[in-house]
Structure 1
Amino acid sequence: MKHKLHANLLTKPVKVLLVGAGGTGSQMMVKLVNLHKAMVALGHPHGFRVTVVDPDVVSHANIGRQNFYPGDVGSFKADVLVTRANMALENTVWESNIGKLDTRSSLQDFDIVIGAVDNRAARLGILRGLEGTMSGVRYWLDTGNRKADGQVILGEVSSRSKVGEDKLRLPHVAELYPEMIDPAQEDKDDTPSCSLAEALEKQSLFINPTIADFAGNILWQLFTKGEIEAHGVFVNLERMMVMPMKVDPDVWTRFGVIRDGRRHRIVRESVKSKREAKAKLAVATA
């Protein structure tokens, strides 16, 4: 089975939001520049229009693992990456946004949101922002990793105002792994690394560029072939293993994805537990 690119993206500027400009996001920016130039060369009338959102500044610990240089230290990551991209582009201006997404963020203006984030709250913000659009279906390309393994998943998110559900809509990361949008399950050890050596204790040197390569390749196939047979991939560098996620409803079912023609809201496990506890208390005190 194959998924076909949204037809309107072949004739209009493709508006992309890159959320996160760190380990994977800074590598992903290079892929987006290359993809834009390749798409235009191959006949796309407009290519990408990219906005990068990230609140952080470049630190010395970022040099060597993220796509930054000593002269960038102290500058906002999003500004650095966008300035660099605009120098490589012709007749195209990309933008930066110094800030964070939350569940109130409007993502109405974007066709594709690429998540290169390392926390559940940011993923929740992406999901609710895409669900809160006025109409239609938009792509969510999620990238994530641990020390030496990670995943890339291209999904589609429909507006909550949409009646019914397409049974072949690509499931997004929150449908496959609901815990990924639950801040209550966040790892509390999120202290920034003080040096490159300390950062490398937490993550393999090449996991971020590897994840960015696979994410870029999914977009490359989608925009050059107009269709894809796999909408995701799981990578483990220690075991040297790569496993694709096929466009296949049977595969989605094994992850617990429900496709019955109705819209199903993704509810965080912590919220579900609180509701169940409240319901039990109400019954006990009735």
Structure 2
Amino acid sequence: MDFYIPQHLLNKPLNVLLIGAGGTGSQIATELFQMDSLLRQISQDSVCINLTIADGDTVSLFNVGRQAFYRQDISSNKAEVLVSRFNNFGGTAWTSIPEYCDPKTIQFKKYDFIITAVDKAEFRVKLGEVFNASQQSSDLLWIDVGNGLSDGQIICGHAYRKTMSTGIRLPNVYDLYSEMLKQVDDNSEDIPSCSTEAALAKQDFGSNRAVAGQATQLIWQLVRHAKISHHGAFVDVANATVQPLKIDPQIWAVYGYEAQL
């Protein structure tokens, strides 16, 4: 089964909100910059990526090498560093939000895609609850990216329960994993890394880049080819495997989600 990008998103600038500018988020931002350059060239500037990056964290020494930052970035805000870099050297006009986002106060209306590359399950739960409680009809697509030591998952789904376009509604990460997410203890998982060795023990080299590539590929397929036949993937860099999450109501039923046609 295929999912087609809504007609009103074709041949126009795409407004993207990226929440989280760490290991995965900084890689996603880099790939979106490359995608923006390609889209501008093949569309005579009619299609591009308008990116907003939100993160309240600052760059530490142990981020250098693992994330897309350099030593001169240390102590600076991650979102501001990335946006300044691309705007100054890449000719973009992207914006930064140098603070942690509260799902209850984010203004989603102007965005076409929201990408969450955050460590906390609680944030995903709160964001999912905000979308589920809304009566708004919207085609906003929510791409969530999560990492383990050497594996990760990417899920692209409709943010809101009600869509504007006809056709199937893609379930998001909250639709498929809400019960599991609610059981995660963020406090036990979110222990600051006191060395590069400790950081690598939590996320090995290459895992962030692997999931970032799968996440941005979904956007590329939708923008460039207007459709996707899978809406996520499960990646394991240690075992060199990528398993697609097919657009299939029978698969979704395994997670307790009933498809909305």
Question: Which deviates further from its counterpart, 181-190 or 13-22?
Answer: 181-190
Residue of structure 2 equivalent to 1:274? none
Taking the aligned partners of 2:252 and 2:225, their CA distance within structure 1 comes to 23
Taking the aligned partners of 2:257 and 2:167, their CA distance within structure 1 comes to 10
Paired letter, 2:37: K
CA contact (8 A) 1:28 1:212 kept: yes
Aligned residue pairs total: 258
Q: Deviations over 1:211-256 (max 9, x none)?
A: 1111111111111110011111101122222110111111111221
Question: Which deviates further from its counterpart, 78-87 or 247-256?
Answer: 247-256
Cα gap change, 1:237 to 1:140, in 2 (>3 Å): same
Residue of structure 2 equivalent to 1:49? 50
Q: Spell out the pairing of 1:253-264 with structure 2 (5 A cutoff).
A: 253-259=253-259
Cα gap change, 1:154 to 1:184, in 2 (>3 Å): closer
TM-score when normalising by structure 1: 0.83
Which ranges of structure 1 fall in alignment gaps of 5 or more residues? 262-286
Deviation beyond 2 Å, 4+ runs, structure 1: 87-90, 124-135, 162-167, 179-187
Taking the aligned partners of 2:58 and 2:135, their CA distance within structure 1 comes to 30
Residue of structure 2 equivalent to 1:280? none
Taking the aligned partners of 2:84 and 2:16, their CA distance within structure 1 comes to 16
CA contact (8 A) 1:120 1:180 kept: no
Q: Spell out the pairing of 1:163-202 with structure 2 (5 A cutoff).
A: 168-179=168-179, 181-182=181-182, 185-202=185-202
Residue of structure 2 equivalent to 1:73? 74
Cα gap change, 1:221 to 1:55, in 2 (>3 Å): same
SS at match of 1:64: coil
State the Cα distance separating 1:129 from its structure 2 match.
4.7
Paired letter, 1:232: G
Q: Deviations over 1:26-60 (max 9, x none)?
A: 11111110111111222161411110000000000
Question: Which deviates further from its counterpart, 183-192 or 226-235?
Answer: 183-192
SS at match of 1:65: coil
Report percent identity of matched pairs: 36
CA contact (8 A) 2:139 2:164 kept: no
Residue of structure 2 equivalent to 1:272? none
SS at match of 1:158: coil
Flag the structure with larger Rg.
1
CA contact (8 A) 2:249 2:258 kept: no
State the Cα distance separating 1:259 from its structure 2 match.
2.6
Paired letter, 2:231: H
Residue of structure 2 equivalent to 1:241? 241
State the Cα distance separating 1:11 from its structure 2 match.
3.4
Measured on the aligned residues, the alpha-carbon RMSD in Å equals 2.3
CA contact (8 A) 2:12 2:47 kept: yes
CA contact (8 A) 1:101 1:126 kept: no
Taking the aligned partners of 2:49 and 2:180, their CA distance within structure 1 comes to 28
State the Cα distance separating 1:7 from its structure 2 match.
1.5
